[in-house]
Amino acid sequence: MRHKESHRMERLGWLRAAVLGANDGMISTASLLVGIAAAHASHSSMLLTGLASLVAGSMSMATGEYVSVASQADTEKAAIMQETAELARDGDAEHRELASIYMQRGLDEDLARQVATQLMAHDALGAHARDELGIHETTQARPLQAALASALSFAVGAAVPIAITALTPASMQVAVLVVATLIGLAVLGALAAKIGGAPALPAALRITCWSALAMGSTLAIGSLFNVGI
């Protein structure tokens, strides 16, 4: 029977973007709402601010992620084109280079040359992209996927504190926002760690502590003002 293994490396691209987006959406929106709640803003002003944060943040996350990952994709394409030209110009030198890589990983010279010969006969460009350039199909840059994941996850994350604001009485908004957001972020951090195969508790504690600092900072700033709008 063929042995099968399930790894999580293929999830890294969308998981990174989705977790970053959801975390940012929840933290930034909740911190903003806590700050203006401490400044005694009206309920309608808080909801409008939250919605504006959701829309602007989603677009900003999508744009930033797309530009960043597209730059990575362009770099990968340029490296692939250069490698293609080098293979066409001097295949023997590229064969020696690939064999040298395998020797550095522990193969003896004869075996390294044989492996390089067989892999280059099967897919020379693929072998060099993977073993020389470090470009793997599972971790290859996908700009559109990353942008959509960031935008949607930011919107989902931002929707949580907005919903809490809409359903919570004004006298309890700050306390409920802080507690509910920290719980939600801890759950999100633990879930993301579990999906990625990492320990859940350190991830949950890490995001909870930093989020508490962010909300505490905006709460302190908001308390200095009394806008009443």
Q: pLDDT, tens digit, for every residue of 165-174? A: 999 888 888 8
Within a domain: 121: yes
Choice between 181 and 171, residue whose per-residue pLDDT is larger: 181
| d(C-alpha 168, C-alpha 163), whole Å | 9
pLDDT, residue 3, reads: 46
Determine, yes or no, domain membership for 91.
Answer: yes
CA-nearest of 33, 11, 28 to 166 is: 33
Is residue 195's pLDDT more than 90? no
Average pLDDT over residues 149-164: 91
Domain that includes residue 110, residue range: 12-221
Question: Does residue 227 register a pLDDT over 70?
Answer: no
Query: Within 13 A of 183's CA, how many CA atoms are on the CB side?
Result: 9
Q: What's the length of the chain?
A: 229
Q: Is residue 3 in some structural domain?
A: no
How far is 104 from 37, CA to CA, in rounded Å?
60
Spatial separation of the C-alpha atoms in residues 96 and 112, rounded to whole Å: 9
Is residue 28 in some structural domain? yes
Q: Is the pLDDT of residue 11 over 80?
A: no
Q: What is the pLDDT of residue 140?
A: 63
Q: Number of structural domains, the chain? A: 1
- pTM of this structure: 0.70
C-alpha to C-alpha distances, 3 to 6, 7, 104, 137, 138, nearest whole angstrom: 10, 13, 28, 21, 20
Buried b (16+ CB within 10 A) or exposed e, 62-83: beebbebbbeebeebeebbeeb
Residue 195 exposed, middle or buried by CB count within 10 Å (0-12, 13-18, 19+): middle
Taking the CB of residue 205, how many other CB atoms lie within 10 A of it? Answer: 13
Residue 193 confidence (pLDDT): 79
| 227 domain residue, yes or no | no
Residue 25 falls within a domain, yes or no?
yes
pLDDT band at residue 70 under the 50/70/90 scheme: confident
Beta carbons of 184 and 23 less than 8 angstroms apart = no
Average pLDDT, the chain: 84
Q: In this structure, is residue 181 part of a structural domain? A: yes
Give mean pLDDT, residues 41-53: 91
Residue 138 located in a structural domain? yes
